Amino acid sequence: MIILGIETSCDETAISIINSEKNGEKTLIKVLGNQLFSQIAIHAQYGGVFPMMAKRSHAENMIPLFLECLKEAKLFYEEEKELSEEKKSTIKTILEREFELAEKLLDLAKDISTPKIDAIAVTQGPGLEPALWVGLNFAKAISYLWNIPLIPTNHMEGHIFAGLMKKVNNDYEIITPEMPTIALLISGGHTQLVLSKSLQEYEVIGETRDDAVGEAFDKVARIIGLPYPGGPQISKLADKERTESGLNAEKKWNLPRPMIHSKDLDFSFSGLKTSVLYTVKKIPELTEKIKQEIAREFEDAVVEVLSSKTRSAVEQFGAKTLVLGGGVSANKEIRTKLAKLAEEINVTFFVPEISASTDNSLMIAVAGLFNYSNQKPYFGEILKADGNLKLN
């Protein structure tokens, strides 16, 4: 089965084409095309993602990326054809709010043959709604245009699948984890512990009550004067500090470990961020060295809380597998410490390769593949982007 995956939930426009094959119990994935445009440079000047600018950039880049992806996958063939007035007008209606994208798509559609794709998986949510709509409406439009089944997909389920993609040469094998599984999902918008008693059955057993981990990283970075997105920057500084001062250096700054002793599996990171702010306010001169020390203490605090809650979740539900996912799973210290924890408590540990940790469309194509049953091409029914789409 050939699946097109489309992801536009935040500041990455991503399109992939995969070919999946069943080999007995095994699912093998060949990546035929994989294109991603990061909007970091656009948002960096404002210190965060502006939803309406993200939307505009997704709409501008969608067709060029799609075309590039088709070419890469060798699914691009020129063929001149007439589109009926009815088709043209329906596409304009579907892409009513992305008017220029409609024009570009109609322009493209009259010059290429119908791509040999079996299904289109697209992120429906959660994420920034204006951004999500672009991907979803584009997916609806090409689903209708070429009569290809459409699979609305949950971004967080995508992050879980990212952890289950094992690289074999240039392809991937999808791991079937031993159940129950606990997934720790940490991204810019989410911090969740998810229990699965069987494949694709999800129960959120803990989540943040305020800021997500990635959000806290980004805000702390801003407080100490680092550019957006701050997560990787904080991580770099913290690493530098560990190398320079050693693992047992005396602590100069003490940040709280919020909710580490609470009985539930919830998190809170907004107080931790505020603590950094108050700490920094009291320092007359914020030197590079002090920034490093604070970055390290902040990262240590996050790692301790994440580890402690994950340990409780695994023990409470007798989990056999731990999956780490979401953009913050690119963080070296978090990967290392959670791998260590998994070893200690005797669960199998899976984490995406760094490039698949942050938002991408491969994970959406794979999640779509597992959600495909007998989806139909889009035909005008109501299908909305949902910024708060739940996992279930």
Which residues are at the interface with ligand KG4 (CB under 6 A)?
10, 187-189, 214, 217-218, 229-232, 235, 326-328, 330-331, 358-359
Closest CB to Zn ion belongs to which residue?
Answer: 187
Q: Which two tokens stand for residue 150?
A: 């459409």
Q: Least Å distance between CB 392 and Zn ion?
A: 18
Query: Which CB atom, from 141 or from 238, has the smaller least distance to ligand KG4?
Result: 238
Contact 203, 177 (CB under 8 A): no
217 makes contact, choosing from ligand KG4, Zn ion, none, with CB < 5 to 8 Å by partner type, with ligand KG4
Contact 254, 297 (CB under 8 A): yes
> Which helix or strand (DSSP H or E) is residue 33 part of?
strand 26-38
Q: Residue written as tokens 């701050």?
A: 230
Q: Per-residue string for binding with Zn ion, 359-388, x by CB under 5 A? A: x-----------------------------
Q: Least Å distance between CB 212 and Zn ion?
A: 10
**The pairing of beta strand 181-186 with beta strand 150-154:** unpaired
DSSP letter string, 223-257: HTTPPSSHHHHHHHHHHHHHHHH-TTPPPS-----
Q: Is residue 187 close enough to count as binding Zn ion by CB under 5 A?
A: yes
Q: Least Å distance between CB 317 and ligand KG4?
A: 24
Query: Which CB atom, from 14 or from 29, has the smaller least distance to Zn ion?
Result: 14
d(CA 120, CA 35) in angstroms, rounded, equals 15
231 makes contact, choosing from ligand KG4, Zn ion, none, with CB < 5 to 8 Å by partner type, with ligand KG4
Query: Which CB atom, from 141 or from 211, has the smaller least distance to ligand KG4?
Result: 211
Burial (CB < 10 A; 0-12, 13-18, 19+), residue 74, is: exposed
Q: Is residue 321 close enough to count as binding Zn ion by CB under 5 A?
A: no
330 makes contact, choosing from Zn ion, ligand KG4, none, with CB < 5 to 8 Å by partner type, with ligand KG4
HSE at residue 210, side-chain half, CA atoms within 13 A, is 10
232 makes contact, choosing from Zn ion, ligand KG4, none, with CB < 5 to 8 Å by partner type, with ligand KG4
Query: Which CB atom, from 297 or from 359, has the smaller least distance to Zn ion?
Result: 359
CA angle 371, 376, 379 (to 5 degrees): 130
Task: Return residues touching Zn ion (CB under 5 A).
Answer: 187, 359
